[in-house]
Amino acid sequence: MSRCGNDRRPGCGREIDWGIDPDGKRIPLTRGAPIYVVEHFDKESGAYAVRKVEPGSYRVSHFATCPNASNFSASAPKRNPAEGA
């Protein structure tokens, strides 16, 4: 496990896990809020019947939750630590 951010690109500091996507690229992952899968819509109650996904069995892209995600885009300027903040 590592933390979001480094000397060149400031991040949020949150713990992240690393995964490999289908194209073989590394992707930062975050443990997310509880996820509910919709089973069906109940017309009688007017609500969705849902099933909670077990905690720890899923991750979400850290780019979806990081307030500093734009610092890590390909077009983001890279900060030179020798120049200061």
How far apart CA 41 and CA 19 sit, in angstroms, is: 33
C-alpha to C-alpha distance for 63 and 51, rounded to whole angstroms: 25
Query: For residue 26, what pLDDT is reported?
Result: 92
Q: What is the pLDDT of residues 23-72, one digit of tens each?
A: 999 999 988 778 899 999 999 999 999 999 887 778 888 888 888 878 77
| Residues 6+ away with beta carbon under 8 Å from 1 | 15, 16, 17
Range of the domain at 25: 2-83
With 0-12 CB in 10 A as exposed, 13-18 as middle and 19+ as buried, what is 16?
buried
Looking at the whole model, is its pTM more than 0.85? no
On whether the CB atoms of residues 66 and 11 are closer than 8 A, the answer is yes
- The count of domains in the chain is 1
